[in-house]
Structure 1
Amino acid sequence: MNSKELSKALPSSQHEEEIDEKPNEAQGDFRVSDDNDETKQYRRLLRKMDMRIIPILAALYLLSFLDRGNIGNANIQGLSKDIGLVGNQYNWCLTVFFFPYCFFEPVCNALLVKFRPSIWLPSIMVAWGVVMTLTGLVQGYSGLLAARFFLGLTEAGLFPGITFYISLWYTRADAQLRMALVFASASVAGAFSGLLAYGIVKMDGVGGLYGWRWIFILEGLLTVLVAFSAFWIIPDEPATANFLDEREKSLAIMRLRIDRPQSTTTPQERTLNHQFKWKFVWAAFTDWQTLFHCLGYWGNAVAVYAVSLFLPTIINGLGYSAEHAQLLTVPIYVAASICCIAVGYYSDKTQKRGLFVFISYAAVFVGFLLAVAPSSFIPGLTYAGCFIAACGIYPAFPGLLTLSANNYAPNAKRATGMAIQIGFGTMGGAAASNFYHKQDAPRYRLGHSLVLGFNVLGLVSMVVYYLICRRINKKRDARWEAISATYTDEHLIELGDKAPNYKYTL
């Protein structure tokens, strides 16, 4: 993209200030002689941001998924028996996590926009690390129920915060691979959880504590340790990032403004606190596309929590010991991580979001169908089904989140809309935590069938969403040239994704 193309992409009121003025130290001069030079500059900037931002986000999300899912590892090591859980009490302990997680997510993302990510994200991480550590000391059903409730409350702001945070740094064309790199850490967490649990339970009896208690205590302490280091590592946004020089800041901000002109107005309104307006928060709740994002996310969330909470139990029911079941979860999660990153890469490369979401949903459908369809129980086929399903579940999430990140504007609406999507969708975890019961072992046909049904719901929702967005884009393309003179830059910014020149990502 050369300077003439940049000029066309910018509103005229901003063009003179950003392009025509002589470069100075405050602005930074990113103008270059040709497209190839600017492409090289932008690639160097992306690598620099990737090295600083993606590793810490991946670490935070890995630990959050590790801490919410390790109860499955602890349970097959004797948790339910040792604290006297009976009937569906274990399932209720899984379910209660999702209620505060769901309802507080939109509030948390509104607070992240209002305050600084570098303070908000590490702070909530310290809180849930403390809760996780104390979970290792629970003595009965009520204690575990309370611990899981507060874990959901304190974790509520992380995942929607991370997904919105990525949109502050990367353009829509570059977002899904970065989302995939972070979300792949969830599947790595599954593998890591099995390996950690296999080693930690060897501490059974140390300090007079059962091995499953040490799973919670040690993993909780690790979370707290990483959280304190995150206070000094996480930058807020490109405009205030101290690891970028002025030239790099200007290039990063300009790319984002061209990519999302409805998200910013003047250079003085580049920071989050200037962009926060409550009317944009409310707009996310009333937008037609929020329903489709929620249903699509719900369909996949049911599957991901079914796997993360019950995979060790499902494999244990195939005839393997608890220790071997822990280890057999590892190859499934490793394969899922590879697929997640590969799909993210090709989605960004081809700029096709919907296509890869559909393919991922199809893999989940095939996987759970293999576990349900045979008339007789075939352990190897069930394991293969879990393997295939996981390779579709984890790539689907970055695609779904990138679609919502691409299609909400401005920033405050995007932050809230994504939080609603994740919050509502995460209630699928509350549902999934009640799908699998002891009496259904070892086949768990009811649980697999319910996950399959929600997968179909999610797939149908996203197909309909795709068709609606394509229809709206065609109408806007046909009308924009005739009506463009009637809109000012400020009016278009206020309209956000409702602006007649805004195109939804497909």
Structure 2
Amino acid sequence: MADRPERDDGSRDSTDSRSHLLVSPPLSPHTPRNTDMEHNPENGEEESRRGGGRVDYARMVRRIDAHVLPLLFLTYMFNFMDKTILSSASVFGLREDNHLVKDQYAWVSSVFYFGYLVATYPATRLVARLPVAKYLGANTLFWGTVVALTAASRGFAPLLALRFLLGVAEASVSPALVFVTSTWYTRDEIPSRTGVWFAGNSVGGIVSSLLAYGLGHVHEHLAPWRWMFIVLGAGTFLLGLLLLAFLPDSIATARFLSPRERKAATDRVVVAGLGATDYPAWKWSQMRECAQDPKTWLIAATALLCQIPNGGTQNFANIVITSFGFDALESTLINIPYSVLSIAAIAGTGWAAGRFHSMNCILIALVVLPPIIGSALISHRAALPHRVSLLGYFLLATGPAALPLLLSLVQSNFRGVTKKMSMTALLFVAYCAGNIAGPQLFVAAEAPTYDTAFRAILISYSLVVGLALGLRIYLDSVNRRRQKTEGVLGSASASSAVIGGKIVDAHDPAGGVRLAPEDYEDVTDWNTFGFRYRL
């Protein structure tokens, strides 16, 4: 076996009692494994390591992708459509039929995030404590009902109440998807899988635009905007039934995997992921550690500044587009290329963040550069042709890619279920605060140019660049300090991880490793020996 880096105490074979992550050069294909690297027969896994009984990890991951990712993608797609259809509805009679005046539409936009804010912390705790699929499915049934009932609104007060309840319902969605992703996938896989389901946002933008365009031609019996909420509410309710029927609560209950594969899937996230997540106790010590961790607040501040632009542009997009000289129907179609650009940015940066361990923070800075240029163009629209302002609007499309990159940092860099879910809750508190503030910057008296709003977008994204680069410098300094203190290189991914001094194959993470009971314990990144942060 290849030599391993030495610990400070000079012992090659010593291990840390908290966890056993070290880094070592990979085994040569011709290097025989020692017999003590095989699973203990007492664990019932000896047969899975021999001959035809060996688990095909690539095939197993493909099966996980096929059964889990489509449901997460659909959930996030409806999550986006149901909260942002308000923008399309606003130009098809919603404001007039509900007698909205002055800044009341801005408050209807913002109140969704007040509901989200109120529900975020309890929702995050429930996600970690309850069977996640059943909880998410039941919550989606409630959420779909609220969307459908919005079609019956006939005034400011009922519309405000329904949007608040929608925020309460959707507060569970993102924490649940973060939890599911970190349950099933390794640190190398999390960014690309997060990018896949988060792209549901942008695909939802395309679907909702086409839906709004089609229903915008319907003028019989009900106004077009009412049909939009009825159709999306029914679709969301059906999605809830699908989640209850097909999404597993955990790896242990996944019927599409064999018992051997379920054991292997659990072992690989213990070795190369963020540890087991099966119904852990809520640990207040981990919550305190999260509050004391500087990266917590750097990520939260970055999320806040990313969402100030998002909150306004999501709800005022169609109003702004009509000010460029397009009618209501055309404004819905113009959002389609915008959504395509967002899909490309989200999927591309998700792949890059998974492929390159030190690119995440740099990618956050890069994706907000086009929106900085775009907001600058729109804020000077009085002196520019409409086509240049429209180009500025399309440049805003890459901005939404910053949030899934932040989510990937949380999932990959926070170990310990309570610590990770506490960080998730804080991130979405910042998400709510930004989305509450964003619409208020679109002052009704400044319509349709909204000069204040686009100047605020420019400033917010400029600050994101500085915070993202600052976060990268901080994480790199922590990695260097831990490497010096521990005396080993450590690992920021599945590749070259070592448990108990035994090399792990990146393509077979749990293969040939005898896991001890303590390896399944719920410990944080601060207390995991050899843990290195993705940059």
- Tell whether the structures are fold-level matches, with TM greater than 0.5: yes
d(CA) in 1 for partners of 2:191 and 2:326?
A: 37
More moved, 337-346 vs 283-292: 283-292
Report the residue type matching 1:124 in the other structure: N
d(CA) in 1 for partners of 2:384 and 2:136?
A: 45
Contact 1:353 1:399 in 2 (8 A): yes
Is 1:424 aligned to 2:430, yes or no?
yes
Q: 3-state SS of the aligned residue for 1:433?
A: helix
TM-score (norm 1): 0.88
Contact 1:480 1:501 in 2 (8 A): yes
TM-score (norm 2): 0.84
Is 1:346 aligned to 2:357, yes or no?
no
Following superposition, the deviation at residue 84 of structure 1 comes to: 1.0
Is 1:202 aligned to 2:217, yes or no?
yes
CA RMSD across the alignment: 3.1
d(CA) in 1 for partners of 2:85 and 2:15?
A: 49
The verdict on how the C-alpha distance between 1:110 and 1:17 changes in structure 2, with shifts beyond 3 A counting, is farther
More moved, 150-159 vs 392-401: 392-401
> Relative contact order (C-alpha < 8 Å, sep 6+): which is higher?
2
The verdict on how the C-alpha distance between 1:11 and 1:235 changes in structure 2, with shifts beyond 3 A counting, is farther
Aligned to 2:325: 319
Is 1:253 aligned to 2:253, yes or no?
no
Equivalent of 1:461 in 462, 467, 481: 467
The verdict on how the C-alpha distance between 1:160 and 1:491 changes in structure 2, with shifts beyond 3 A counting, is closer
Aligned to 1:442: 448
5+ long unaligned stretches in structure 2:
6-11, 21-34, 491-515
Is 1:497 aligned to 2:525, yes or no?
yes
The verdict on how the C-alpha distance between 1:22 and 1:427 changes in structure 2, with shifts beyond 3 A counting, is same
Following superposition, the deviation at residue 305 of structure 1 comes to: 2.7
Q: 3-state SS of the aligned residue for 1:272?
A: coil
Following superposition, the deviation at residue 303 of structure 1 comes to: 2.5
5+ long unaligned stretches in structure 1:
265-269
Aligned to 1:474: 480
Equivalent of 1:381 in 388, 392, 399: 388
Matches within 5 A, 1:391-402: 392-402=398-408
More moved, 62-71 vs 406-415: 406-415
Is 1:87 aligned to 2:102, yes or no?
yes
Contact 1:404 1:417 in 2 (8 A): yes
Contact 1:98 1:430 in 2 (8 A): yes
Aligned to 1:305: 311
Contact 1:62 1:188 in 2 (8 A): yes
Report the residue type matching 2:323 in the other structure: G
Is 1:363 aligned to 2:398, yes or no?
no
Aligned to 1:43: 58
Report the residue type matching 1:322 in the other structure: A
Following superposition, the deviation at residue 355 of structure 1 comes to: 2.1
Equivalent of 2:49 in 31, 39, 64: 31
Aligned to 2:285: 279
The verdict on how the C-alpha distance between 1:241 and 1:74 changes in structure 2, with shifts beyond 3 A counting, is same
The verdict on how the C-alpha distance between 1:72 and 1:10 changes in structure 2, with shifts beyond 3 A counting, is farther
Following superposition, the deviation at residue 394 of structure 1 comes to: 2.9
Contact 1:295 1:457 in 2 (8 A): no
The verdict on how the C-alpha distance between 1:494 and 1:337 changes in structure 2, with shifts beyond 3 A counting, is closer
Contact 1:27 1:246 in 2 (8 A): no
d(CA) in 2 for partners of 1:28 and 1:143?
A: 62
The verdict on how the C-alpha distance between 1:9 and 1:239 changes in structure 2, with shifts beyond 3 A counting, is farther
Equivalent of 1:143 in 133, 142, 158: 158
The verdict on how the C-alpha distance between 1:121 and 1:460 changes in structure 2, with shifts beyond 3 A counting, is same
d(CA) in 1 for partners of 2:206 and 2:146?
A: 23
Task: Give the paired residue count.
Answer: 485
Report the residue type matching 2:432 in the other structure: T
The verdict on how the C-alpha distance between 1:168 and 1:505 changes in structure 2, with shifts beyond 3 A counting, is same
Residues 316-368 of structure 1: CA distance to partner in whole angstroms, max 9, x if unpaired? Answer: 11001101111111111012112211221122122331221221122222222
More moved, 438-447 vs 405-414: 438-447
Report the residue type matching 2:89 in the other structure: A
Following superposition, the deviation at residue 306 of structure 1 comes to: 2.6
d(CA) in 1 for partners of 2:58 and 2:136?
A: 27
Report the residue type matching 2:305 in the other structure: G
d(CA) in 2 for partners of 1:203 and 1:124?
A: 31
Q: 3-state SS of the aligned residue for 1:171?
A: coil
Residues 80-121 of structure 1: CA distance to partner in whole angstroms, max 9, x if unpaired? Answer: 112211111111111111112123212212111111111111
d(CA) in 2 for partners of 1:11 and 1:41?
A: 30
Contact 1:131 1:147 in 2 (8 A): yes
Following superposition, the deviation at residue 373 of structure 1 comes to: 4.3
Residues 409-438 of structure 1: CA distance to partner in whole angstroms, max 9, x if unpaired? Answer: 112211221121122223211111112234
Following superposition, the deviation at residue 275 of structure 1 comes to: 4.9
More moved, 175-184 vs 416-425: 416-425
Equivalent of 2:83 in 68, 77, 102: 68
Residues 461-486 of structure 1: CA distance to partner in whole angstroms, max 9, x if unpaired? Answer: 2221111111111011001139x9xx
d(CA) in 2 for partners of 1:477 and 1:492?
A: 24
Is 1:221 aligned to 2:249, yes or no?
no
Following superposition, the deviation at residue 240 of structure 1 comes to: 2.6
Contact 2:318 2:331 in 1 (8 A): yes
d(CA) in 1 for partners of 2:439 and 2:49?
A: 54
Matches within 5 A, 1:108-127: 108-127=123-142
* Greater fraction helix: 1
d(CA) in 1 for partners of 2:388 and 2:284?
A: 51
Following superposition, the deviation at residue 12 of structure 1 comes to: 8.3
Report the residue type matching 1:75 in the other structure: S
Aligned to 2:204: 189
